[in-house]
Structure 1
Amino acid sequence: MPIDQNGDAIIEGMSVRRLPKISLHDHLDGGVRPATIVELADAVGLELPENDPEDLADWFADKSDSGSLVEYLKTFDLTIGVMQTREGLTRVAREFVEDLAADGVIYGEVRWAPEQHLAGGLSLEEVVEAVQDGIEEGEDAAEGNGHDIRVGQLVSAMRHTDRSLEIAQLAVAFRGRGAVGFDIAGPEDGFPPSRLREAFDYLASEFFPATVHAGEAAGLDSIRSALIDGRALRLGHGVRIAEDLDVVSREGDEVLVHFGDLARWVRDREIPLELSPSSNLQTGAIAAWGTELADHPFDLLYQLGFAVTVNVDNRTMSRTSLTRELALLAETFEYDLADLETFQLNAAAGAFLAIEEREELIELIAEGFER
């Protein structure tokens, strides 16, 4: 199945880009347009490794393909560097939503860490307001182009700093004003969710939902802590839950698997896995299984009944889109439209929305795929 230069593909006569999609794991500072970085960097005096947008896009892709999450995260110095003013934050958020809409997304959750955007003198409240302004401008622009989209903020705390409770309180304060959930980001290995237990206790007392990065750079203990200490309703990546599966035998399409207690809990409780295939390859999250997309345990998890969802993680670093990720999976594992629809339905069911709104998304997905 050919994937064109725009990352689109045709499956069963349908453009993948035109299919309705749900985006659950998408970082704001990982989705800045290279051309915007060039323009904003000049305005704030930030030195770039490349000053041509195409060359800069190549630089991001090369630096991100290191096999190390730590090295991968270093590329964010540039994107965060141009997101320190109200104008920069609003523009990046607006363009982010416009890019989601162009990718066929009808509902998205954008995660970002307000504490990383204070160097320009803005307060935590001001940066959240600036991003929300951009989101709403992007939604209005998309509507003007005939595309309905809704985007909510996942306010994130950096797991290696000591501001998690403050950020959790910030997220709750903006409930109803753009914030739909909480997350923790940054270096996973060595910084388990248990370090932020006070913040998660507070969120639980406020009935505010959390998704937790776990099972990417660290293994099963990280996932266990996300569920127990973080009360995570979703797992950010979570790909290494496959380490708790023992493949006993394979005969054709039949696979006999022994489940560990943790894997069975995640599967049986339908806890969504926010899988990001290209990113998982780049950061080495699937190194235990191989170095090609075909080695990704995505299909094993899907066939075993886990609530798998498809995400981009960082569009700029992986030079990808949700359309491209779906097309690559379809090409690699021979998925059809019914499979791609299942991934969107899983994501809709896991969205941090009221059940009535999730049911509406499910109807929109069914209608879009039927057409």
Structure 2
Amino acid sequence: MILQRRQTIHTTKNPSECAQIISGSILKGDTNLLSKYEARAQPNQRLRPAFGIDNAFTTDHSERHKEYRNKVGTMLRPDWNMVASAAKRLAKNECPKNLVNLVQSFVLKMTINVLFRHDFPSLDDESISLVASEINDIWIGSKLPRHIVPWSKQDRLHDALRLLVPNRDPLDPQRNAMNFILPAFETMWRIVLRCFIEVRYRGAEETEEWIAALKLFLENPTVRLEDSHEGASEIEKAISIVREALRLYPPTRHIHRHFRFASGSSILAIADIEGLHRDTAIWGFDADCFRPSRWANMRHEPEPFNAWMPFGSSPFLCPAKPDFGPRMIGILVAALVDAFSDVRYELNVRDPRGQKESAKFYGLLRSDRDSYKELFLEKVDRRCR
């Protein structure tokens, strides 16, 4: 009788080991018998029945992976001035309400606008709200196989997607718009939410300074650090804000890979990106603090940058890393800050009985996908006080 060895789990926040795990090829000197695509795809198989997708995250075929990456590459080349203008206009039109719902709807509208070049009037608010909330709920439920509702039975979600992206069949795994919406939206709205809270509602001494920097970035979204510009120092602050938010609240907190070795053993290896980004041995005693100014001192220090992996690492470096991801996050956060920086906008906590009090935050913001549903952004007429 052949005894099958149980799969073990290995988790690390060591930067070199994290990079090894993400590559999916070698772990601690042992070669993976699985291809790098198989190593990546196997932990993501739950996403196939949950979202009806077939993309680079779920396929073990190199050609399919290449085809998807090439397609994404063409989608991530927007006119940034138009994106910033659209984000500013859209945020101004958003009504104060539940903060999670507001950020989810705002980010999903901008995601569809940028990826599929669809104008906002065609984006039905009810469909947007449904798709945004369902993506989050399905993702959480997909971690427990018995909670997965087959994608083929998600009729309301299919109807909403057909309204929002009419030229893509949600029941065709390769044409399903969710192949592109999911990796863009699901990761982005959470970082935008937390960056907005950090900048606007944590009461930091630098709050006004951060707001001014982001507003300037919103007006100059194509400026790079190496460009000579009148507001170069402010642009650098805005970029540092985004980097710091990505450090503390990485879009993917843990990256999983399957390894199978010649010995017959197998390992589910987990790169703890969140732990890596908060490691005091790398980032200092204040690693848990949101301090964008730390990046001003890191231009010539390679170690922190080597330990900064919000977009993964080679050979599975997210195509959004070089430009699209950080710039898009900066624009979206800046647009929200621009729209709601007025002191009349308060962030309150509502309990189940409808009682409310001013929101207060201590330490790191919670990272769970279902966090902060109790927060409401409200407009207050201070003249009546």
Common fold by TM > 0.5: no
Identify the structure with bigger relative contact order (alpha carbons < 8 Å, sequence gap 6+). Answer: 2
- Answer with 1 or 2: which has the greater Rg: 2
